[in-house]
């Protein structure tokens, strides 16, 4: 059987996909794709949790919560994004479509920007500091410089793009897998989303004391 090699935009992620799913190994391919879909859904779930918070706006408290999430996500966000992209590329290929490289680039860019943001935050507290110490130091620095709103909205846009772009690729992957008969119906992804409250919603800073800060 001829094998097509698809190289994603960021090494070391390489995917090998067999062109023919009508051979005696069709069931095995279907199971592999189904497992890949489940991994991508788990990755998307992590991104949903990262970008969703019920915290009411409180200048320092909200900033600390967001900073903590960014630092934690630094360790998993790239793996999560790659899982979603891998499913998207493979599902598009087996469905006879050309993956949209621009969409994968944009999602990877969002993940890299989050990692860069986390590195910048860590740089404000040099030395062998715990994440808790880094959060405290960074939050106090933002408050002292009246930059809480700037940081908030920068992170808000980053979270929003991560969620939007990962959801778009996962939805297209779901459609592709439905098209080739791996998923019985697209409703599977919809049921997952309906089980999560307040997807991607961050509280808005509307306190009067905050309106005078530069954005």
Tens-place pLDDT, residues 173-185 = 999 998 888 877 5
pLDDT of residue 141: 92
Tally Cβ neighbours within 10 Å of residue 183: 21
Residue 172 CA to residue 165 CA, distance in Å, equals: 11
CA dist., res. 113 & res. 108, Å (int): 9
CA distance 82 to 192: 20
Does 96 fall in a domain? Answer: yes
Q: Is residue 6 part of a domain?
A: no
Residue 204 has pLDDT above 50, yes or no: yes
In a domain, 36, yes or no: yes
Round the average pLDDT of the chain to a whole number and report it: 79
Number of structural domains in the chain: 1
Q: What distance lies between CA 209 and its chain's CA centroid?
A: 32
- 13 domain residue, yes or no: no
147 with 214: CB under 8 angstroms? yes
Question: Among 90, 77, 113, 94, which Cα is nearest to 14's?
Answer: 90
Please give the share of the chain, as a percent, with pLDDT higher than 90: 54
**Amino acid 199: pLDDT:** 44
Residue 65 lies in a domain: yes
Write out pLDDT tens, residues 12-45.
333 344 444 455 567 777 788 889 999 999 999 9
In a domain, 208, yes or no: no
Whether 203 is covered by a domain: the verdict is no
Is 90 exceeded by the pLDDT of residue 158?
A: yes
Domain assignment of residue 163, yes or no:
yes
Closest CA to 114 of 148, 80, 86: 80
> Residues 180, 94: contact at Cβ < 8 Å?
yes
Adjacent-strand bridge partners of 5: 16
The parent domain of residue 41 ranges over 26-198
State whether residue 158 is helix, strand or coil.
helix
């Amino acid at each position: 059987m001829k094998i097509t090699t698809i190289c994603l935009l960021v090494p070391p992620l390489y995917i090998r996909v067999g062109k023919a799913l009508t051979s005696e190994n069709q069931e095995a391919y279907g199971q592999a794709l189904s497992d890949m879909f489940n991994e991508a859904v788990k990755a998307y779930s992590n991104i949903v949790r990262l970008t969703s918070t019920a915290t009411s706006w409180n200048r320092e408290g909200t900033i600390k919560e967001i900073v903590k999430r960014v630092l934690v996500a630094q360790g998993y966000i790239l793996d999560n994004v790659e899982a979603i992209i891998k499913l998207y590329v493979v599902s598009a290929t087996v469905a006879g479509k050309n993956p949209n490289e621009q969409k994968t680039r944009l999602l990877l860019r969002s993940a890299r920007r989050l990692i860069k943001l986390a590195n910048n935050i860590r740089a404000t507290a040099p030395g062998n500091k715990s994440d808790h110490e880094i959060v405290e130091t960074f939050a106090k620095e933002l408050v002292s410089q009246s930059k809480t709103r700037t940081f908030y909205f920068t992170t808000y846009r980053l979270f929003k793009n991560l969620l939007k772009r990962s959801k778009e690729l996962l939805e297209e992957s779901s459609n592709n897998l439905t098209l080739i008969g791996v998923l019985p119906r697209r409703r599977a992804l919809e049921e997952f989303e309906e089980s999560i409250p307040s997807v991607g919603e961050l509280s808005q800073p509307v306190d009067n004391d905050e309106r005078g800060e530069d954005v």
